[in-house]
Structure formats: C-alpha cells, structure tokens
C-alpha cells in the first residue's frame, strides 16, 4: 500500500490523540484516591528518586492487591519533572485537573514554588526530606506536609548522639560541620549555632563549592582543626566525595555522621570496608527485616509485579519511599473512617493525614503522630552505624532538641505568614 | 492565494513602511492576539497556567537576550543572573512596600546597571572570551545572592513575593497574572519589532557584522555595545520580576542558576538569532517538547500495556527531545523562525512560482 502524505498525517494525529482519550476512563468504576508524583528522575536526584519511587509504587501495589484501603484504591501517576519549574508546575496543574488530592514532587526548588499554589488550591503537598523546613508548622502551612523529620531535627538528633557518645557533655569539644555551599547545605547552621552555645562546644563550618565533586582543598583544613566530631552535609555526588575525603584524611569514622542522605549505594562507591563506623540518621528502618518489606517481597515482587529491580528492595531510599507511601495510605484510611463516602478532595485527605496517630507501619517507622499543628510527625529518628555491610541501628527511636527546632520553625513560619497572602 | 502578493503595489510610503505591510500578516497576528486575549475563557486552567503563562514569560526573556545576541552579536551566558537581579530587586522593594509598577522598573534598572558593568568586558573581548566573562557574571551573582542572607532570605533562602497590584488591579488570580504577563510580553515584542528600524537597531546590526567596520562608518562601538547590554539587561530584569511575581511566587537562588541561562540561550538559538518570531517558537519547543513527549510516551506505554522501567521511561523523552533539537538545527541552522519564513516566502505568490519584487 502506498502511503500518501495525508494518510500519514492522519494516522500520526490519531496515534497521538488515542492514548490521551483512553487513559481518562480507566479507573472510572472504582473509588480511587489519586496521587500525583512528578519527580526528578533525570537531572539531580536521579538514582535517589528511582529507588524512592520504586518503594512508593511497590507499596501502593501491595495495598491495591489486598483490595485497597478503606474501600479506596490508590493510584499514583509518576512522571519526570527534571527539577525544572515549568515542567513541575505543568505536572501539578495536570494532576489537579485529573483529580489528584496529593502531590509528592521530592524536590526542594519545586516544593518552594508549589507551596503558595497548594495552599490556595487545598491540595496536599508532600515534602518528605525536601521543601521548607518550617512547613512542619501546620497552623501556617495546612496543606504542606513533610511527614518526616526535617533537616533541623536531624541536626538536633546528631548533636544529641554525639553528646551520648561523650557520656552526657559536649563541653569544650570541637564539632566540624562540612557542608555544600548552598541554601540546603547551610540550613542546619542556625540550629547547630544555638546548640553550640547551649552545650558549650565550638562549631567550625567548612563550606565546599557545589556540586562538590572536588573537596580536596577543604578536608585537610578539617583535619588540621582536629575536630572531636564531624558532620558532613550534602547530597548526591557530594556525599560520597566527602566521605572518601574524610577517610583519606584519617578522621575517626565512628565520630563522623551525616543526615538521612547516605545509603548502601554510596558505600559501594566509597568502599564498604573503609567506611566502617560512619553514622547516619535513619527516619525509618532500613533493610528487608520490617514486615512490610517482607510482604512486598512475597506479594508484589514475588509475583512479578515489582516496579523495579529486586536488588533495590530494602535499600535506604527504597524504604523512605515505602515510608511515605504507608503514611499516605494511613491518611486515606483515617479519612475514609471519618467520611467513608468522600467526596475525595484535598481537605478530605488532609483531615485523614492530620489524624494519623502513633502509626508505625508494622514496625517500619518510629511512632508517628501528625496533628493539624505538627506536620513533622513528632521528630523521631534513630542513628545507624555502618558496620561494613549494612547500617546497624545503635540507638532506639528518640527525639532531641525539639525546642530549638521549633523556635526556628516558628520564626520562619511567622515570617512566611507576614509576607504571604 | 493567502497573501495575494502578486500585482499589489504600495502607492503610499506609509503603507509600505508599516510594521506589517501585507494584509494577511496583519490578519494572522491579530487573530493570534485575539486567541491569546480570549485564552483564559476558551481553554482549561491547565493550559493557561501550565502552558501559555510560562510561554509568554520565557518568550519575553528570550526576546531580551535576542536583542543582544541576534541584534548586536554579543554572546551572553549569564542571562539567568540578569533575571535574578531583577527578580530579587523587585521582590525586595515590594516587601518594603513599593508598588509593583515602580518595583518592576527598579528591578530592570538594577539588572541594567550591573549588566552594563559585565557588558564592558565586551569592549575588549569577543566571542568565546565574552562567553566566559558573562559566565563569570552568572557565578558571581549566584554567589552573592546565596551568600548574603539579607538578599536570599535567611536559612531557608526563600522569599515570598508579596501580593501585588498593577494599576489598581490585584494580581492574585490566574487570569490577572496571565493578562499582566501578556501585556509585558506585548510591550517587549512591539519594542523588538520597532527597534530594528531605528538608528539604534541599525547600529547594533553594523556592530554585529563587524565592529571595527562599524567604527569606521562612524558608529561608536563603545557607546552602542554598552547600550545593547543596558537595554537587554533592563528587559531581563523586568521579565525576571514578572517571572517572580506572576509565576514562581517565591524566589530562591536555585531558580536562576546557569540552567536558566542555558535554557534561554537554547530558545534563542533554536528559535532563530535576530528574529522576533524566533524566541516564541524557541520557547515553545524548549519548554513544552519535553513535557509533551513525556506525556505522549507515558500514555502510549500505559495504553499498550508495556511495562517500561521508570528510568528508561524518564530518559526516552530526553533522547527524543535531543534528537528533535538536533534535527531542527540540521534541517535549518537559522532556526525555527527561518522555517516559518521559508514557508511564508513560498506561499507569498503561490500558486505562481515567481513574482516581481
């Protein structure tokens, strides 16, 4: 058959138009809660996002296979925003039009731009480990939900852990804070400064230039300062470089810690044996031990319905994804308890999410309580130490220095309230 | 057939010298304008705030850069920093209570006065060396903003844009912000259309072709190069403040990094250097091709029941987008505007082959 230009154009047009028409009616029959997850798979967060998203989707598959939660199926629309604001805002508007009641962009710049929109449109903006730290103040940010310990709380936990190592006093000790020289890297500084005064340790900040793939100039200075403790704060490539440099400069690994952004994948880069002793903050249990992860392995991955490679199941960031998905699902369950017949809207889900009480997701999370005022969930985490093979928790779930953290949260949320609409 | 060009002669200087001498062009531009004016009432919110609004803002920015790159032939790799200064300047002024009209102009002036300092590098260096000098400007501005808490807004480094009013109308709703961006874009477009017909525009063109030849012709390259940087940076600053107030609503340093500069540079080059229409095409391609390819591929995979790993699904559109840009530039190195102009030239006297000029 000879293909004329007209038939070619017509069939191309049909090909482009067909999928957009087909997708709309797919879930029309069931009761559905739609979550939009435009995330950065291609620009900066890359492998972090794919592990996080894999965990999220596997958990939602698990819930849906079991028949949903509270009579609702959970649908997650994953797309790529590449950390680009026009793309993210388009995805947000698209999600809103398709009836999404929550959006999880997993990106600080995107979350910043979406905050005023989400507040206006009453759509739940999930800002786990990203976005504004002051969003923990639910009275100012009713529809922005970090649902996880923010960076200020993480810094508070780390200092508390150092204090425990020193048997209760940091008086006269030296703490080096090596951070990427961006707003994200400088974020914990105010908390550390307040704590330095209160606990009597000296704080030395060592900024390195972004993106941090060469930090060889800064670490010898850190060594010369002879710190008793070292905290390194960065993301992606900066983390592995920082850790390698810390090892090369002979800092004692069991006195080095980072935030939640350290994973098994980073250890492969640094060298599993060399990094032995380094600490990180665990916002949820890592590994494959928790019951939920075992269930996912049996009921989702085992049946060939996994969203990604099986090897990634149970890695640090995978479990962060499961953590967020389980909190959202719990929010839906609470919402369905309050108003079983919906209608499914942003405020409906918000009422559920802010009613989560002592939720542990069968042992995956610390007891998490979200209230309309506290969107952080209590600020509990634990410290885990790398033993050469895996991260082993060395503390129980605990929370520390929340008074300082909340002073800072209120300071900035008040500022937001003053300058906002 | 469309243009009815054959046999039509202008009988008055005014009709020959107007911006669009051909009736069909005037009709086309008025209908596009009419659609843009009616858009908030015709289209869904998704298309107005998700597509048209960013398109107008990015096109305006690309127009400003095109004055410098296409008009005067001076490379600029730091246009994102120029916009950052305008955005921060105007948001800070508005937080101190200045009205938007003033803050916008002041933002433009701040950008222009800093931009001209780095533009002075253009008096000594050219081409790739000027690119490096403007790249340095990008880094310096980024550094100053993120290192000065008074500018960036403290530990969270986010400044909310305060509620704005323009000529008494509150810019809070979707429609108002859209019309405001449309107005700014229209003013900049009109300026760009006309600037080429002024002595300023012609002087820039002479400098673009060969600066010392222009000097011999009596054009002060010192003066006109600095003026080119001044005007272009002013536009960049104004668009930066529109971007901050209408679209981002909160400014933080990472929004104005090198990524933005490269994005706008790509719009100018893909759209067509020196053309007024080009930045509009370029902005549409650079902003929306990734989104559309992403959505089309995503829904194609889900309709045909293919399970594609998410990493591949996310990267395939980038491959397609890259191929698209390379394809366009191979097919027509002068950009998308040139493709349009080729079609237009072909249709001018169609169905006849030739016409007297």
For residue B319, what are its two tokens?
């491959």
Q: What is the pLDDT of residue B192?
A: 94
Q: Which residues of chain B does A308 touch, with a Cβ-Cβ cutoff of 8 Å?
A: 309-310
What's the rounded Cα separation, in Å, for the pair A394 and A281? 10
- CB contacts of A22 in chain B (<8 Å) are 299, 303
Q: How far is CA A185 from CA A293, B156, B256, in A?
A: 32, 10, 18
Instruction: Round to whole Å and give the CA distance between B133 and B77.
Output: 8
Write the pLDDT tens digit of every residue in B4-50: 666 567 788 888 788 887 878 889 999 999 999 999 999 888 899 88
Q: Which chain B residue has the Cα nearest residue A47?
A: B311
Please answer whether residues B203 and B219 qualify as being in contact, where contact means their C-beta atoms are separated by less than 8 angstroms. Answer: yes
Q: Read off the pLDDT of residues A125-174 as tens digits, 9 standing for 90 and up.
A: 999 888 888 899 999 999 999 999 999 999 999 999 999 999 988 999 99
Which residue in chain A has the smallest CA separation from B317? Answer: A80
Residue with tokens 């002793």: A277
Residues in B closer than 8 angstroms to A78, CB to CB, are 310
Helix (H) / strand (E) element for A34: namely: strand A32-39
Position with higher pLDDT, A21 vs B315: B315
Q: How far is CA A239 from CA A145, B107, B314, in A?
A: 26, 37, 24
For B223, the enclosing helix (H) or strand (E) is: helix B221-242
Buried b or exposed e, range A337-376, using 16+ CB within 10 angstroms: eeeeeeebebbbbbbbbbbbeebbbeebbbebebeeebbb
| pLDDT at residue A7 is higher than 70 | no
Structure confidence at residue A25 (pLDDT): 42
CA distance, residue B294 to nearest chain A CA (Å): 8
**Chain B residue at shortest CA distance from A419:** B162
Per-residue CA distances from B255 to A3, A295, B163, B191, B220 (Å): 47, 41, 20, 27, 37
Residue A124's SS3 state is strand
Of A20, A53, A117, the CB nearest to B299: A20
Residue B353: phi and psi, rounded to 5, are -90, -40
Question: Which of A37, A92, A93 is the best substitution to test chain B (most B C-beta atoms within 10 A)?
Answer: A93
Task: Write down the CATH superfamily of domain A151-282+383-400.
Answer: Response regulator (3.40.50.2300)
CB contact under 8 A, B146 and A183: yes
Tell how far CA B342 is from the center of its chain: 22
What are the tokens at A371?
Answer: 């209230």
Please give, rounded to a whole number of angstroms, the shortest distance from the CA of B158 to a CA of chain A: 7
Which of B176, B178, B291 to mutate against chain A (most A CBs within 10 Å)? B291
Q: CA A417, CA A420: separation in Å to the nearest integer?
A: 5
Does A19 contact B303 at a Cβ distance shorter than 8 Å? yes
User: In sequence order, what are the beta bridge partners of A229?
Assistant: A175
> ∠ CA A320-A322-A325 to the nearest 5 degrees?
110
Q: Is B150 on the interface with A (CB under 8 A)?
A: no
Chain B residues in contact with A53 by the CB 8 A cut-off are 310
- The token pair at A246 is 């810390």
Both tokens of B207, joined, read: 């400098």
Q: What is the structure's pLDDT at A6?
A: 58
Contact assignment for A79 to B158 by CB distance below 8 Å: no
Residues of chain B under the 50 pLDDT cut: 357
Angle at A197 between CA A193 and CA A198, to 5 degrees: 115
Query: Pick the residue with more confidence: B348 or A282?
Result: A282
> Would you call B50 and A90 a contact, using CB atoms and an 8 Å cutoff?
yes
CB-nearest partner of B45 from A41, A93, A109: A93
Give bridge partners of residue A34 from the DSSP assignment: A75, A100
Q: How far apart are CA A110 and CA A127, in angstroms?
A: 10
Question: With an 8 Å Cβ cutoff, are B309 and A308 in contact?
Answer: yes
Q: CA B213 to CA A200: how far, in whole Å?
A: 69
Name the minimum distance, in Å, from the CA of A76 to any CA of chain B: 13
Q: Where are the domains of chain A?
A: 30-149+287-379, 151-282+383-400
Comparing C-alpha atoms, which of B299, B311, B326, B301 is closest to residue A42? B311
Residues 6+ positions from B357 with CB-CB distance below 8 Å: none
DSSP state letter for A80: E
What confidence category does residue A22 fall into, taking pLDDT thresholds of 50, 70 and 90? very low
User: So what CATH class is B18-348?
Assistant: mainly alpha
Give percent above pLDDT 90 in chain A.
60
Q: How confident is the model at residue A26 (pLDDT cuts 50, 70, 90)?
A: very low
pLDDT in the model for residue A27: 47
Which pair of structure tokens corresponds to residue B300?
């194609």
Q: Hey, where are the domains in chain B?
A: 18-348
B223 touches chain A (CB under 8 A): no
Residue A21's pLDDT band (cuts 50, 70, 90) = very low
Spatial separation of the C-alpha atoms in residues A255 and A237, rounded to whole Å? 21
| Token pair in block for residue B93 | 């002024």
At what angle are helices B278-303 and B336-348 packed, to 10 degrees? 100
Residue with tokens 């839906």: A332
Residue A79 in contact with partner chain B when CB distance is under 8 A: yes
Residue B152 pLDDT:
83
CATH number for the domain running over A30-149+287-379: 3.40.50.2300
Q: Cα-Cα-Cα-Cα dihedral of B230, B236, B241, B245, to 10°?
A: 170
- Say if the Cβ atoms of B252 and A22 lie within 8 Å: no
Give the one of A41, A91, A420 whose C-beta lies nearest to B314's C-beta: A41
Residues of A in contact with B259 (CB under 8 A): 84
Contact A58, A306 (CB under 8 A): yes
Q: Averaged over A271-294, what is the pLDDT? A: 91
Mutate to test the interface with A, among B44, B50, B164, B263 (most CBs of A within 10 A): B50
Decide the pairing of beta strands B250-251 and A144-145: unpaired
Per residue in A372-401, pLDDT (tens digit) is: 999 998 889 999 999 988 899 999 999 988
Cα–Cα distance measured from residue A21 to residue A30, given in angstroms and rounded to the nearest whole number: 18
Q: What is the pLDDT of residue B104?
A: 93
Contact map slice: B 54-93 vs A, CB within 8 A: 54, 58
- CB contact burial A143-176 (16+ within 10 A = b; e otherwise): bbbbbbbbbbbbbbbbbbbbbebbeeebeebebb
> If you average pLDDT over each of A9-23, A360-374, B151-165, which comes out highest?
A360-374
Residue B35 in tokens: 């659609």
Tell whether A65 is within 8 A of chain B (Cβ): no
Please give the Cα distance from B203 to B211 (Å, whole number).
10
As given in the structure block, the two tokens for residue B137 are: 């400007």
Average pLDDT over every residue of A109-114: 87
Nearest CA in chain A to B247: A113
Provide the pairing of β-strand A202-208 with A124-126.
Answer: unpaired
Is the minimum CB–CB distance between B203 and chain A shorter than 8 Å? no
Q: How confident is the model at residue A417 (pLDDT cuts 50, 70, 90)?
A: confident
- pLDDT score recorded for residue A183: 79
Predicted complex ipTM: 0.87
Backbone φ and ψ for A359, nearest 5 degrees, come out as -90, 130
């Amino acid at each position: 058959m000879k293909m004329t230009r007209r038939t070619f154009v017509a069939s191309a047009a049909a090909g482009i138009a067909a999928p957009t028409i087909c997708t709309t009616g797919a879930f029309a029959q069931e009761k559905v809660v739609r979550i939009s997850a435009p995330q950065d798979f291609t620009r900066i967060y890359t492998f972090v996002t794919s592990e996080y998203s894999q965990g999220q989707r596997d958990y939602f598959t698990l819930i849906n296979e079991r028949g949903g939660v509270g009579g609702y199926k959970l649908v997650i629309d994953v797309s790529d925003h590449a950390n680009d604001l026009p793309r993210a805002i388009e995805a947000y508007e698209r999600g809103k039009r398709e009836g999404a009641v929550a959006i999880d962009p997993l990106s600080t710049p995107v979350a910043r731009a979406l905050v005023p929109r989400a507040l206006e449109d009453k759509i739940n903006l999930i800002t786990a480990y990203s976005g504004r730290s002051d969003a923990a103040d639910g009275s100012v940010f009713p529809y922005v939900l970090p649902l996880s310990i923010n960076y200020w709380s993480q810094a508070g936990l780390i200092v508390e852990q150092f204090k425990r190592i020193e048997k209760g006093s940091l008086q006269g000790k030296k703490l080096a804070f090596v951070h990427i020289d961006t707003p994200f890297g400088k974020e914990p500084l105010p908390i550390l400064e307040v704590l330095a005064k209160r606990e009597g340790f000296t704080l030395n900040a060592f900024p390195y230039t972004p993106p941090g793939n060469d930090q060889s100039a800064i670490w010898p200075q850190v060594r010369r300062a002879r710190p008793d403790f070292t905290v390194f704060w960065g993301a992606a490539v900066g983390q592995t470089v920082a850790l390698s440099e810390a090892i090369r400069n002979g800092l004692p690994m069991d006195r080095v810690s980072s935030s939640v952004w350290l994973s098994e994948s980073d250890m492969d880069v640094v060298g599993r044996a060399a990094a032995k002793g380094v600490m990180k903050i665990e916002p949820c249990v890592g590994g494959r031990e928790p019951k939920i992860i075992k269930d996912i392995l049996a009921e989702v991955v085992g049946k060939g319905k996994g969203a990604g490679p099986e090897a990634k199941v149970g890695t640090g960031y995978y479990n962060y994804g499961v953590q967020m998905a389980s909190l959202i699902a719990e929010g839906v369950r609470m919402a369905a308890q309050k108003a079983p017949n919906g209608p499914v809207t942003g405020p409906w889900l918000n009422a559920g999410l802010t009613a989560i009480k002592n939720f542990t997701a069968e042992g995956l999370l610390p007891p998490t309580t979200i209230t309309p005022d506290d969107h952080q969930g209590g600020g509990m985490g634990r410290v885990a130490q790398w033993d050469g093979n895996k991260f082993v928790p060395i503390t129980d779930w605990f929370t520390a220095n929340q008074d300082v953290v909340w002073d800072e949260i209120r300071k900035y949320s008040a500022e937001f309230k003053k300058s906002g609409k | 057939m469309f243009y009815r060009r054959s046999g039509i002669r202008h009988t008055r200087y005014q009709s020959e010298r107007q911006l669009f001498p051909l009736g069909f062009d005037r009709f086309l531009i008025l209908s596009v304008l009419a659609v843009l004016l009616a858009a908030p009432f015709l289209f869904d919110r998704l298309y107005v705030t998700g597509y048209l609004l960013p398109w107008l803002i990015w096109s305006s920015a690309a127009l400003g850069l095109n004055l410098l790159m296409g008009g005067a032939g001076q490379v600029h790799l730091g246009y994102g920093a120029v916009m950052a200064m305008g955005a921060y300047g105007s948001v800070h002024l508005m937080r101190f209570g200045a009205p938007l009209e003033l803050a916008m102009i002041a933002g433009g002036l701040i950008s222009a006065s800093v931009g001209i300092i780095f533009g002075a590098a253009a008096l000594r260096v050219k081409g790739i060396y000027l690119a490096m000098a403007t790249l340095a400007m990008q880094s310096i501005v980024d550094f100053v903003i993120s290192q000065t808490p008074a500018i960036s807004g403290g530990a969270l480094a986010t400044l909310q844009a305060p509620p704005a009013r323009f000529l008494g109308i509150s810019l809070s709703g979707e429609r108002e912000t859209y019309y405001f961006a449309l107005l700014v874009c229209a003013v900049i477009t009109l300026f760009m259309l006309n600037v080429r017909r002024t002595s300023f525009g012609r002087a820039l063109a002479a400098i673009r072709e060969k600066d010392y030849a222009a000097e011999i012709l009596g054009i002060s390259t010192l003066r006109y190069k600095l003026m080119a940087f001044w005007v272009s940076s002013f536009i960049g600053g104004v668009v930066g403040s529109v971007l901050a107030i209408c679209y981002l609503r909160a400014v933080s340093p990472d929004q104005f990094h090198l990524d933005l500069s490269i994005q706008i540079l790509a719009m100018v080059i893909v759209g067509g250097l020196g053309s007024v229409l080009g930045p509009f095409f370029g902005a549409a391609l650079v902003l929306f091709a990734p989104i559309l390819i992403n959505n089309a591929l995503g829904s194609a995979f889900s309709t045909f029941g293919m399970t594609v790993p998410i990493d591949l699904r996310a990267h395939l559109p980038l491959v397609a987008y890259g191929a698209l840009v390379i394809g366009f530039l191979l097919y027509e190195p002068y950009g998308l505007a040139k493709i349009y102009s080729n079609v237009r030239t072909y249709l001018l006297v169609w169905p006849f082959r030739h016409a007297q000029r």
